[in-house]
Amino acid sequence: MDSDRTAPDPTALDPTALDPADLHLIRDSLAWVRGADTDGVLAGLVPALTERERAEMAAHCALAHVAALVFPASIDALTAGLRAEGLTVGKAVPSTVVRARLGRRYGVPPESLDVSILHAGLPGAGDGARTVEVFALELPPGSPLDGIATRERAERNESHVALDVLAPNTVVLSGLRALLGGRGGLVPDGGGHNRHEDCTVLYFRSAGEAGPAGRAQPPRYRRLEIRARGHHPLALTAHREATAPEPAKRLLELMTGAWTTQAIAVAAELDVLDHLPVGRGAQPRPLPVARVAARVGADPRGLARLLRHLAAVGLVAPAGESYVATEMGALLRQDAHPSLRPLALLYGGPFYDSFGALAHSVRTGEESFAALFGKGHFDYLTEHPRLARLFDAAMAASAAMFAPIPWLFDFRGARVVVDVAGGNGHLLGRILEHMPHVRGVLFERPDVLTAARQQWPDTSRAHRCAFVAGDFLEAVPEGGDVYLLSRVLHDWDDDRALTILRSCAASMADGAALLIVERLLPTDGSTSLAVSWDLHMMCNVGGRERTAAEYERLLAAAGFTLDTVHDLPLDGSLLCARRGDARPDTGL
């Protein structure tokens, strides 16, 4: 039978049953669901997917319904209007999910929102029957909730398209979640199990509204519902864990991040984690909080509140009436290898103060550290030896970044490795340890070398290292086969960074290697510690993080060729360059 001749006309709804905006929305939904297909839905809502990916997903899913939220004066009038169109309308049932979402969104008690669901059946074309899921919040004239209707009609937050998973299981649902939330770029947006229908639902949302040109897509729909018959707790748990919190809650979490910085710093200052065993079931049994407070010199109630916050962010875990350190929290212990305690003290100390003056850096482009403390970061450290030792220890705490380097670069042909501004020489020490034939040169300021010598044990590695004092802005030692610049260039602006590179180039023979360790700013929108560290460098030393392309341009301007870039732990990167095969420029 030709369905076009028998299907009801969706434009014939009784206009007295609904507000014109709601009437328009339902008509659009009815018209769209009749002609839509699964591939069109995916092309519109998930434009990042390739045609092949859409086809593979469509093999597992079928279009189920389109949903919309409307605000009739009467549920009875809405029901009558839908039935007058020849639609099969089921009995209105309460909606707990949409009611709860509206309550959170508008800060009103959910029980004050009487939201119903009506399923309107519509004969479909091609791939089976389609339905329109109508969420209805009854708003009689003069309702105090009219503001909700105004905003929802504009934003259509509850409008979505639903796909049924044809043969759901854990593997299929995991693959769909990975594709939609990974390559597809959708954001997990909650879900649940409807025990009345025995159906697991997973919601996603998209920030975009438009799909590729010429593609049919629902009007302004930005949410996708994946429906899987049965109860699938593993998929549901993973989806809920990945679901982003509501915007206001997430913003509050971000705004109060400084509280966590201080909580961690105070825990480090008091050595709280040193008095807690690591892991559940650890021995000895954890001391009561009052006993820990006595040992660290804290108020028992104050420490209990601190530990509760640390538990909320995952550094400790409750154990009876006390706490144990988690694997992450154990990194704050003094016996951890490496211990991140020095970093916690720095980030909660002078760097916390300088970051509090971020507005100065943003407005002027100048480092806030100098404005706050009267001189630049490195000059200030020279005058404050205790803080300088803490800084050196903090730099060593990130040494896990160096672990793969002896295997990422071929040092077999090298005789001398020069570590320029290498701090305590941790990276150079790793290389000498793995390459017994190599000799090293640690090139640093005199005060830094004094502290570095004390940290090198009397081993063959120490006897193969020369400690040379100097200023890399003027010259660096000659005669090296490999030169290291580890977390140096990001301390400086482009002009100074180029000066350092040219200083190195002047002392290097053609073909000598230059290894640079830095965090690279992403260019594909991915997350990276480099983005936050870029602000950190602006505030504290006046430097900046850079992209790989920006480093390549700096290197070329100094007479280097960038050969390879390797990933390192802690979002670090190893850039391997060589002297020569590039035309030195007079500038960038």
CA distances from 406 to 133, 399, 429 (A): 60, 13, 11
pLDDT score of 195: 73
Beta pairing, strands 465-469 & 482-486: unpaired
Beta bridge partners of 164: 62, 227
Q: How far apart are CA 545 and CA 521, in angstroms?
A: 6
Q: What percent of the chain has pLDDT over 90?
A: 48
Per-residue pLDDT tens for 511-523? Answer: 999 999 999 999 8
Q: What percent of the chain has pLDDT over 70?
A: 89
Tokens 């000498």 found at: 432
| 490 is an active site residue | yes
Catalytic residue among 337, 490, 536, 566: 490
- Residue 282 confidence (pLDDT) above 70: no
The residue count for the chain = 588
Q: How far apart are CA 262 and CA 289, in angstroms?
A: 20
396-579 belongs to CATH 3.40.120.10: no
The CATH class for the domain spanning 256-340 reads mainly alpha
Residue 478, Cβ neighbours under 10 Å: how many?
A: 12
- Residue 587 confidence (pLDDT) above 50: no
Per-residue pLDDT tens for 285-337? Answer: 889 999 999 999 999 999 999 999 999 888 998 888 899 999 899 999 999 98
- Minimum mean pLDDT among 91-95, 168-172, 336-340, 458-462: which range? 458-462
pLDDT score of 7: 45
What integer is the mean pLDDT of 178-194? Answer: 86
Per-residue pLDDT tens for 62-75? Answer: 988 888 899 988 88
Delimiting residues of CATH 1.10.10.10 domain(s) in the chain? 256-340
Phi, psi of 416 (to 5 degrees): -130, 130
Looking at every residue in the chain, the average pLDDT score rounds to 85
- Minimum mean pLDDT among 277-286, 399-408, 557-566: which range? 277-286
DSSP state letters, 301-360: HHHHHHHHHHHHTTSEEEETTEEEE-TTGGGGSTTSSS--HHHHHHHTTHHHHHHTTHHH
Per-residue pLDDT tens for 476-519? Answer: 999 999 999 999 999 999 999 999 999 999 999 999 999 999 99
- Residue 213 confidence (pLDDT) above 50: no
Tokens 């290292």 found at: 465
pLDDT band at 223 (very low <50, low <70, confident <90, very high): confident
Residue of higher predicted confidence among 273 and 106: 273
pLDDT band at 438 (very low <50, low <70, confident <90, very high): very high
pLDDT score of 258: 94
Per-residue pLDDT tens for 358-390? Answer: 999 999 999 999 999 999 888 898 888 888 888
Delimiting residues of CATH 3.40.50.150 domain(s) in the chain? 396-579
Considering the segment(s) 3-245 as one domain, its CATH architecture is: Roll (3.10)
